[in-house]
Structure 1
Amino acid sequence: MEFVEAGGLEIAYQRVGAGPPLVFVHGAAEDSRIWQPQLAGLADEFTVVAWDEPGAGRSSDLPEDFGLTGFADVLAALIEALGLGPAHIAGLSWGGTVVLELYRRHPTCVATLIMIDTYAGWKGSLPADEVEARVAGARQMLAAPHEHFDPTLPGLFATDPPPRLVPLLSAIAADVRPATLGRQLAIMAEADLSDLLRHVSVPTLLIWGQLDARSPLTVAHQFEEAIADTRLVVIEDAGHLSNLERPERVNDAVREFCRAHAPHPG
Structure 2
Amino acid sequence: MDAEPRTVEVCGLRIGYRRAGRGKPLLLLHGGFSDSREWRPQLDGLADELDVIAMDCLGCGVSADAPPGFALAEYADIAAGFLRALGLESAHVGGISFGSLYALVLYRHHPEAVRSLVLAGAYAGWAGSLAAEEVARRIAWAEGALTRPADEWGPDFLATVYSDPSPELFAEAMEILRDVRPGGFTPVARTFWQADVRDVLPTIQVRTLLINGEQDARATLPVTRQLQSRIPDATLAVVPGAGHGVNGEAPLAFNTAVQVFLSRVPG
Decide whether the 8 Å contact of 1:89 with 1:99 is kept in 2. yes
Q: Does 1:168 align with 2:159?
A: no
Pairing partner for 1:193 from 197, 200, 211? 197
Residue of structure 2 equivalent to 1:178:
182
Q: CA RMSD in A?
A: 1.6
Unaligned runs of 5+ in 2: none
TM-score normalised by length of structure 1: 0.93
Number of aligned residue pairs: give it: 261
User: Would you say 1:96 and 2:94 are equivalent positions?
Assistant: no
8 Å contact 1:123–1:188 — kept in the other structure?
no
Q: TM-score w.r.t. structure 2 length?
A: 0.93
Aligned to 1:14: 18
**Regions of 4+ moved over 3 Å:** 146-154
1:217 pairs, out of 204, 211, 221, with: 221
Task: Tell me, yes or no, if the aligned pair for 1:151 and 1:176 is still in contact at 8 Å.
Answer: no
Q: CA-to-partner distance for each residue in 1:52-92, whole Å, 9 max, x for gaps?
A: 11111111122112232222211110011112232110011
Q: Kindly report which structure 2 residues correspond to 1:29-178, keeping only aligned pairs within 5 A, or say none.
A: 29-144=33-148, 150=153, 153=157, 155-159=160-164, 161-178=165-182
Residue of structure 1 in register with 2:207 after alignment: 203
Identical positions, percent: 41
The separation in 1 between residues aligned to 2:136 and 2:169, in whole angstroms, is 30
Q: Deviation at 1:162?
A: 1.7
* Paired residue secondary structure (2:89): coil
- Runs of 5+ unmatched residues, structure 1: none
The one-letter amino acid paired with 2:221 is L
- What one-letter code is carried by the residue in structure 2 that aligns with 1:56? C
Distance 1:32 1:256 in 2: 23
Say whether 1:250 aligns with 2:260.
no
Q: Secondary structure at the match of 2:146?
A: helix
Q: Distance in 2 between matches of 1:130 and 1:138?
A: 12
Q: Greater CA deviation, 60-69 or 197-206?
A: 60-69
- 2:93–2:103 Cα contact (<8 Å) kept: yes
